[in-house]
Amino acid sequence: MRSYSLAAPGKINLHLEILGDRPDGYHELAMILQSIELSDIVTITPLSTEAIRLHCNHNQVPLNKDNLAFKAAELMVAKFPAAFAQWGGVEITIEKNLPVAAGLAGGSSNAAAVIVGLNLLWDLGLTQPQLQELGAGIGSDVPFCISGGTAIATGRGETLDNLVTPPEIYVLLAKYRSLAVSTAWAYQTYRQQFSHTYPPDSQALAARKTKLSETDLLQTIAHQDLDRLGKSLYNDLEKVVLPAHSQVAKLRQTLESFPNSGVMMSGSGPTVFALCSSQQQGEELQRQLKAALPEPDLEIWVTKFNSGGVKVIS
C-alpha cells in the first residue's frame, strides 16, 4: 500500500463581512476566499496497527485530538469503519510552512488534506462534494480548502460559489512570529462590540446578504483588474484586531506606505497581506518592509494566487 504526500495551501480573505447572528450561534458571513501557493505538506502513510499517529515539525501545533488533521482522520474512521478495518491505521506527518494561528487556515487545510488523502489511501471513490460535506463537519473553512482557488463563501463559510482565479497575482504576507490571534476571540469580541449593528430579523439579514453580489470586488475579479481588486479589499475583523494589537496596525500602515496594489489583514489575523503585480514587486516590497521594520520577530513571505486547493504531489 502506498503513501500520499499532499500540498495543503493556505488562504487569504479578499473580503470578510460579518452579516449578523445565526440561530446556531455562529456568525452569518459573506467572504471571498483566495488560495495561495504557500502550503503545508501532509504525508499519509499506512500503519499496520489500528491507530492514528501524528507528527509535526512545529512546536505550536497540538499533537493530540485538538489537531484538526487528527480530528479529520477520526471522522473518516467513524464514517468508514469497514475501510479502517480493512486497511489499518495511518501515520500523518505535517510539514508546517504556513504560520500557525495566523488567519491563513493552516489547520483547516491540513484537515482537508487528510480527508482527500484517506479517500485515496482507502480507495473510497468519494466525489469532491462528498469530501467537502465531510470536511464541513470539522470546520467551516475545510470545504474551501479542499477545492481552493477563488470562491464566494457564505453561511458559516462552508457554502461555496467558485470564481475564476485571476492569473499572476502575487501576495506578500507579513506576520510577527510570536503573535497569535485566536479566531474565536476575534469573532466573540466583534459580537460584543458590534452586535447592535446586526440585522434585527431574518428578512433584514437576507437583504444584507444580497449586498456582496453588488460589491465592486466581484466585477474586478471577473475583469482581472488588480488595482481595483486591491482597492476593494475588506475585512470587518480589522475593527477588533487592529485596536487590540498596535504592532499589527503599524505593520499594516507601513506596508501601505510602499507601492503595491492593496493591503488588508487576512481572516482573524494577525497576518497582513499586500497584493503585487509580480514576484519582483513582491521582493522589492519585502526589502522595503524589512528596512522600515528591522525586527527579527517579523516574518515575511512572497507567494502568489493559487487556482486550486489540496493537491497530491507524490
| Pattern 149-188, ligand ATP, x by CB under 6 A | ----------------------------------x-----
Nearer to ligand ATP, 14 or 226 (CB): 14
Nearer to ligand ATP, 244 or 292 (CB): 244
Let me know if 177 is exposed, middle or buried by CB neighbors in 10 A (0-12, 13-18, 19+): middle
Active site residue 65: no
Cell numbers standing for residue 206: 437576507
Nearer to ligand ATP, 110 or 303 (CB): 110
Residue 117 in contact with ligand ATP, rule: CB under 6 A: no
68 contacts 108 by C-beta, under 8 angstroms: yes
| Pattern 58-77, ligand ATP, x by CB under 6 A | ---xx---xxxx--------
Residue 36 in contact with ligand ATP, rule: CB under 6 A: no
* Residues touching ligand ATP, count (CB under 6 A): 21
Active site residue 141: yes
Residue 102 in contact with ligand ATP, rule: CB under 6 A: yes
- CB of 234: closest distance to ligand ATP in angstroms? 16
CA separation for the pair 264, 275 (Å, rounded): 9
CA separation for the pair 122, 124 (Å, rounded): 5
Nearer to ligand ATP, 66 or 161 (CB): 66
By CB under 6 A, which span of 73-81, 104-112, 121-129, 257-265 interacts with ligand ATP? Answer: 104-112
Q: Using CB under 6 A as the criterion, which residues of the chain lie in contact with ligand ATP when the complex forms?
A: 61-62, 66-69, 94, 100-108, 110, 141, 183, 267-268
